[in-house]
Amino acid sequence: HPGAGPGVDPGTPPGQRKSGRGLLAAGIVAAMLVSGGLGGWIGATVAGGSAAGLSSPISATQPEGTAPDGTVEAVADKVLPSVVSIDVRSQTGRGEGSGVVLTADGLIITNSHVIGAAQAGGQIQVRFDDGSKAPASVVGTDPATDIAVIKAETSRPLTPIALGTSATLTEGQAVAAVGSPLGLSGTVTTGIVSALNRPVRAGGAQSDQSTVIDAIQTDAAVNPGNSGGALVNMNGELVGINSAIASLGSGNSGSIGLGFAIPVDQARRIADQLIKQQYATRAVLGVSVSDSPEGDGALVRAVEPGGPAERAGIEQGAVITGVGERLIEGGDALVAAIRSQAPGDTVTVTYASREGDSPNTVDVMLGEAR
């Protein structure tokens, strides 16, 4: 119900960076004030202690690259070179976000909403892990899935990320988010997969069903600027593209432990299409739906003539309650379930012809749309 719960906002709202940085600056000032108070106490303690104190020779060493596999340190060491910061400037505003390197020659995946301002003549600049920068151009974008691919204009070979799969993710599995929250590049946060197959409107609570994604939910801290960055498993393999955060109100309240990522299996398919043909296709059932007013399920408001649903015998007024083994709680859940498939896939749809009727089960070959 609109307004009844937390809103879902894109991780990188264009044109609002100034306020975000203002909050960050205020936090830094507060930290400095606290540090100043502690500094006096610490200084007095050291002054009254051993004369050797801080002037003692440093004997401990910190060898580079010795972290055991599977640790956060090892994951960060592996993934950070493959994650970039993205700065977009146009006449309508400025946006910041993150991106993930796909190929050594500069192809980078990110969110469509991160580079949206560049569609109207804006400029994109990419900042790499070593601090160097390069301009970038748009290869292709698909707002419906919130996926975009850009190309960094650089002659230096980049470090592609290792691709994993989202098909085998489990709730409770450890993950790490890597990106540039609030413009702080190279930030690593950790958490778990909190839920799978979560229907989320990537454009925020005000968007329509054309932007619904079938998201991975995580409690790894994800903030504005993380959008387009990497969600990785503890092998350092990409399992999702961070896309949205939940907030308790309007504006950017920051992480509340509810972040959402596009599963890598879907993102990879869309990115591959954008690279090859500059546009992407998606699976469709051929219906328009809303939440069922009588309870769980998606109420079919209209059926596309000659579409997959009509050919399978699904009619207007039907209530769809399942796709495969997934329960369908509402309209967005159905859209997300279909979006997670590829055009041409066959799915089993469970539905009741009218409210209260016994359920029917039918196999439907999904259609294709741009």
User: What is the per-residue pLDDT across 251-295, written as a single tens digit (0 to 9) for each?
Assistant: 556 788 899 999 999 999 999 999 999 999 999 999 999 999 988
Nearest to 227 by CA among 95, 327, 56, 51: 95
Q: What gap in Å lies between CA 288 and CA 285, rounded to an integer?
A: 9
Active-site entry in 9, 90, 112, 113: 113
Nearest to 134 by CA among 119, 155, 148: 155
Report the half-sphere exposure of 219 (CA within 13 A, side-chain side).
9
Per the annotation, the verdict on 1 as an active-site residue is no
Per the annotation, the verdict on 146 as an active-site residue is yes
Amino acid at 282: R
Give the pLDDT of residue 86: 97
Give the pLDDT of residue 5: 37
According to DSSP, the residues that pair with 256 across neighbouring strands are none
The kind and range of the H/E element at 242 are: strand 237-247
Give the pLDDT of residue 231: 98
Active-site entry in 142, 146, 214, 219: 146
Give the pLDDT of residue 94: 83
Lowest mean pLDDT among 221-230, 250-259, 351-360: 250-259
Lowest mean pLDDT among 56-60, 225-229, 258-262, 366-370: 56-60
Beta strand extents in 80-186 (DSSP E only): 83-90, 93-101, 107-110, 123-127, 133-142, 147-152, 162-163, 174-179
Mean pLDDT of 160-178: 96
Active-site entry in 227, 243, 247, 340: 227
Mean pLDDT of 171-179: 97
Tell whether the model's pLDDT for residue 66 goes beyond 70. no
Per the annotation, the verdict on 227 as an active-site residue is yes
- How confident is residue 191, by pLDDT bands cut at 50, 70 and 90? very high
